A and B are shown apart, each in its own frame.
Chain A
Amino acid sequence: MFKHLFKMIWNKKKQNSLLIVEILLSFLVIFAVFSFALNSYNNYAKPMGFNYDHVWAISYNHTLETKNPDSVTLVYQTLLRDIQSLPLVVDAGYASSNIPFGSNHMSTGITTNGLYVDRVNNFFMDENYVNVMGVKMLSGRWYDKGDLASKTNIIVINKSLKDKLFGNTDAVGKFIGDKPENRKKVIGVIDDIKTDGDYQAPTYGLYNKQDTAAYIWMGRILVKVAPEANAAFEGQLYKLMAGRLKKSNIEIEHLDNKLTAYNKFTLVPLIILSIVAAFLIINVALGIFGVLWYNINKRRGEIGLRRAVGAPGSSVSAQLVYEAMILATLSLIIGAFFAVQFPLLNVFDLPASVYLFAMLFAVVFIYLLVLICSLYPGKQAAAIYPAVALHEE
């Protein structure tokens, strides 16, 4: 029976091609949505890597009038010490403006042992960073006060970058940067953090040693506060900042709020894409339904004939469902050919497993869709009265 149906579909490929293209397109859209959603979910399931609760980010800009570096350093160091000694502050530290969940990004490329790695986040964080954020050191150590004054070229890298450059071996003590002027010794490997929110994978990260000249441009102070810290305390903190850095634009943000806002960057497009896809699917479903319905009416003679020579009603309706499934299979074979190009050519840099699962889900989805759309027309076909159908032609 299968061969019989396949032959018939094959001989009717012109009439069926529209339906095949329609199913193919919906498969590709579903595949895209599922890949996107699955990737977002995968990233969501990964740990954040640090604790953003009760972490505040103060932005400032450098407005001190004195040009004397020692006085500048003194002002900033005193400011930090005073913040740290506030009763509700757990710890605080200077950071470059590319803090988590912010719109600022600084990236760089690095070549190590001939291997070039692009799009590496370039962070500058002071010695308090690990304690403020609660990030884990996986090996080696974070910077300490002594490093501030030392002239040695040292660096901390994150786990992703370590895995990329050094695989499973420990990186501490090894060097990164092939050019002599970029060459730095790794002193620690720090855990990955999802700087771009819940739904984006962590990327490579370089954590540079901050020196005293950096205060004037770093622009952020990260403050870990006690859970009791409230708006009144925030006002107090603001006053302290405004008093020390006159005419500076001071802004205090809470990282948890920033995360919520940042997540929208991923969720909004996903939701829009899903809505568009849903409309498309409804369209396609109606299309499949309509074409099958139309086919049945065009094929009343054939259906009547099959009933006359011994097909029970159930067999006629099964035949129409099978035919729809064969068409879906043809579309899916073509669709799968396009879909596997994504992992093969590594488009968009997503893990291959994401594509494969998305493909699997999309295949199941399309089969279900076609099955549902063909059940009712199939049932209608079974109800065609053979004597009437044969009479019509």
Chain B
Amino acid sequence: MIRLQNIEKVYRTNTIQTLALNSINLDIEKGEFLSVMGPSGCGKSTLLNIMGLLDVPSGGTINIDGQSTISFSDKELAKFRNQKLGFIFQSYHLINDLPVLDNVEVPLLYRNSTAKERKTLATAALEKVGLSNRMKHFPTQLSGGQRQRVAIARAIVGKPEVILADEPTGNLDSAMGNEIMDILLQLNRDDGTTIVMVTHDEFMAQKTHRLVRLFDGSQVQ
């Protein structure tokens, strides 16, 4: 599903140059649930952003669903992200000025869909994460776990083949973290969604199919 070959990422600032990723080779199968671990600053988020086409590597090639995305234009990348990928972030990234339902609809605004279709799909996604009774709430009126469930609903509303989650449980206590983890496992099991998850939690990582460890930009396991 996702094939990374010799991925390198160098950040250059005025004074220093950081090698965030060093020659990463990774093959992720369709339907796989992969977790990425490593100490802070080792390049986990960078790797995920590159897989999610939010960032371009300094070297190497990416192949997602059989397509090489290196030469894609901004519009093509956006379309690809919209249709194939779903994102979940540690800090949720919900739009606080919009109620839950509208937040979940956001990805659908960037494809051809009617207001009615959007509402139906968003309602279904919220049902899936168990939040159908919070659709009219604003994000600030929800707990952290509930917010992350909204974010998951937003990630799955467009029925993506891949979900990229960057420390989805990082801001949550273990009970809420488990709740989120269960939803992700269920998505992987029932819908066959490919999931790549960055985590600091060994216990969470053990529940996934495969674990990749990074250290200083290099893959160590």
Residues of A within 8 A of B (CB): 1, 3-4, 7-8, 11-12, 301-302, 304-315, 385-387, 390-391, 393
Query: Please, how many angstroms separate the alpha-carbon atoms of A4 and B45 in the complex?
Result: 30
Q: Assess whether A310 is in contact with B98, with CB atoms less than 8 Å apart.
A: no
- Asked if B97 lies at the interface with its beta carbon under 8 angstroms from chain A, I say yes
20 sampled A-B residue pairs with Cβ under 8 A: A4-B98, A4-B109, A7-B98, A7-B102, A8-B97, A11-B98, A301-B91, A304-B93, A308-B54, A309-B154, A310-B81, A310-B82, A311-B110, A312-B74, A312-B110, A313-B78, A314-B74, A386-B55, A387-B49, A387-B55
Tell me which of B79, B97, B109, B110 contacts A11 (CB under 8 A). Answer: B97
How long is the Cα–Cα vector from A391 to B79 in the complex, in angstroms? 22
Closest 4 CB pairs of A and B: A310-B82, A312-B78, A310-B110, A387-B55
Residues of A within 8 A of B69 (CB): none
Out of A302, A307, A385, A390, name the residue touching B95 (CB < 8 Å). Answer: A302
Give the nearest-CB partner of A385 in chain B: B55
Consensus secondary structure, chain B interface: helix
Across the interface, do A310 and B111 meet the contact criterion of CB distance under 8 Å? yes
- Chain A contacts for B97, CB-based, 8 A: 8, 11-12
Flag if B78 contacts A307 (CB, 8 Å): yes
Nearest CB of A to B153, in Å: 12
B residues near A302, Cβ cutoff 8 Å: 93, 95
Are B81 and A309 interface neighbours, CB within 8 A? yes
The reply to whether the CB of B218 lies closer than 8 angstroms to some CB of chain A is: no
Instruction: Add 17 more A-B contacts to A311-B110, A312-B110 (CB < 8 A).
Output: A1-B109, A3-B115, A4-B102, A7-B98, A8-B97, A301-B91, A304-B93, A305-B93, A305-B95, A308-B52, A308-B93, A309-B82, A310-B79, A312-B74, A390-B49, A390-B54, A390-B93
A3 to chain B: which residues have CB within 8 Å?
A: 115
Interface contact B107-A309, CB-CB below 8 Å? yes
Q: Is B87 an interface residue (CB 8 A)?
A: yes
In-complex Cβ contact of A393 among B79, B93, B115 (8 A):
B93
Q: Which of B41-98 contact A (CB under 8 A)?
A: 45, 49, 52, 54-55, 74-75, 77-79, 81-83, 87, 89, 91, 93, 95, 97-98
Q: Which residues of A contact B55 (CB under 8 A)?
A: 385-387
Distance from B29 Cβ to chain A, minimum over Cβ atoms (Å): 24
B167 at the interface (CB under 8 A from A): no
A8: which of B77, B93, B98, B107 is its contact (CB, 8 Å)? B98
By a CB distance below 8 angstroms, the chain B residues around A307 are 54, 78
Chain B residues in contact with chain A, CB under 8 A? Answer: 45, 49, 52, 54-55, 74-75, 77-79, 81-83, 87, 89, 91, 93, 95, 97-98, 102, 105-107, 109-111, 115, 138, 154, 158
Q: Which of A315, A385, A393 contacts B110 (CB 8 A)?
A: A315
Contact across chains for B87 and A308 when beta carbons are under 8 A apart? yes
Q: Are A391 and B81 in contact (CB under 8 A)?
A: no
Contact (Cβ within 8 A) B54 A387: yes
A311 surroundings in chain B (CB, below 8 A): 78, 109-110
Bound-state CA distance A260–B98 (Å) is: 61
Q: A302-B95, A311-B110, A314-B75 are in contact. Are A386 and B115 (CB under 8 A)?
A: no
Bound CA span A381–B110, Å:
17
Nearest Cβ in chain A — how far from B93, in angstroms?
4
Contact across chains for A310 and B89 when beta carbons are under 8 A apart: no
CB-CB under 8 A from A391, the residues of chain B are 45
Option from B79, B81, B91, B95 in Cβ contact (under 8 Å) with A308? B81
Residues of chain A with a CB closer than 8 A to B106's CB: 4, 305-306, 309
Closest chain A CB from B194 CB (angstroms) = 17
User: Is the pair B110, A386 in contact by a Cβ cutoff of 8 Å?
Assistant: no
Q: Which of B89, B111, B158 is the most central at the interface, judged by chain A CB atoms within 10 Å of its CB? A: B89
